[in-house]
């Protein structure tokens, strides 16, 4: 099962993915040498061309996606469609022969300025090409709030969804930000949610768990 976390106004709730779970023992150390990860396609209103970048950590335990224009807003100065922003990333991880990986933890960060009565939402899911997506995890923040926010999704080892051994399947991430007016006065206030970065690594933050293939 996935973990439940609650942190400072954030409620995290995850469901077990519908993909069959491959039985592996505890994750191992990452493969040696630098893993190459490519950003194949980027789509969505939250990540126009040239506004998303990806990098693999030096120890191959995580990758980070950085956004520069991922913002949802409602109220003064906002267009009617600005309340929701989404980004769909298609990644290719060049997995060394004999290894497989799974996402063990995902950390999402940003900044929120929410008027009294407004609500900010971050939701995301991910999947390997040709496999069923995980259920969306949803994190809600209530106004009034003017502060950084962080949300963490953690997957238990027994529920990890592993990249199929010996195959090349891209990894897809879908992320959304919402700014909901609620009972706030949109004629005098502006509420927004931004995402500064999405980190991927099992010890800290999109954590990657590695295994040798059976």
Q: Write out pLDDT tens, residues 6-20.
A: 334 443 333 334 444
Q: Which of 5-14, 34-43, 114-123 is predicted most confidently?
A: 114-123
> What is the DSSP pairing of strand 207-212 with strand 10-12?
unpaired
List the beta bridge partners of residue 8. none
C-alpha span between 151 and 10 (Å, rounded): 7
Which residue ranges form the domains of the chain, and what is each CATH number?
Answer: 36-212 (2.60.120)
Q: Write out pLDDT tens, residues 58-89.
A: 999 999 888 889 999 999 999 999 999 999 99
Q: What are phi and psi of 68, to 5 degrees?
A: -120, -10
C-alpha span between 26 and 33 (Å, rounded): 21
pLDDT at 167 over 80: yes
Please, is 49 exposed, middle or buried when counting C-beta atoms within 10 Å of its C-beta (0-12, 13-18, 19+)?
Answer: exposed
* Residue 207, token pair as written in the block: 């954590």
Q: What is the pTM of this model?
A: 0.79
């Amino acid at each position: 099962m996935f973990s439940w976390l609650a942190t400072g106004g954030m409620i995290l709730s995850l469901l077990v993915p519908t993909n069959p779970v491959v039985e592996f023992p505890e994750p191992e150390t990452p493969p040696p040498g630098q893993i190459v990860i490519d950003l194949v396609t980027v789509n969505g209103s939250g990540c126009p061309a040239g506004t998303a970048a990806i990098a693999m950590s030096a120890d191959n335990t995580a990758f980070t996606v950085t956004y520069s224009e991922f913002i949802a807003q409602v109220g003064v100065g906002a267009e009617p469609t600005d309340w929701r922003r989404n980004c769909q990333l298609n990644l290719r991880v060049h997995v060394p022969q004999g290894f497989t990986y799974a996402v063990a933890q995902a950390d999402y960060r940003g900044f929120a300025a929410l008027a009294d009565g407004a609500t900010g939402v971050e939701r995301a899911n991910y999947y390997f090409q040709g496999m069923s997506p995980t259920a969306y995890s949803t994190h809600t923040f209530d106004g009034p709030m003017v502060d950084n926010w962080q949300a963490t999704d953690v997957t238990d080892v027994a529920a990890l969804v592993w990249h199929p051994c010996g195959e090349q399947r891209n990894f897809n991430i879908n992320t959304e930000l919402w700014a909901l007016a609620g009972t706030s006065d949109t004629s005098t206030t502006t509420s927004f949610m931004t995402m500064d970065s999405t980190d991927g690594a099992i010890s800290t933050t999109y954590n990657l768990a590695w295994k040798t293939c059976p």
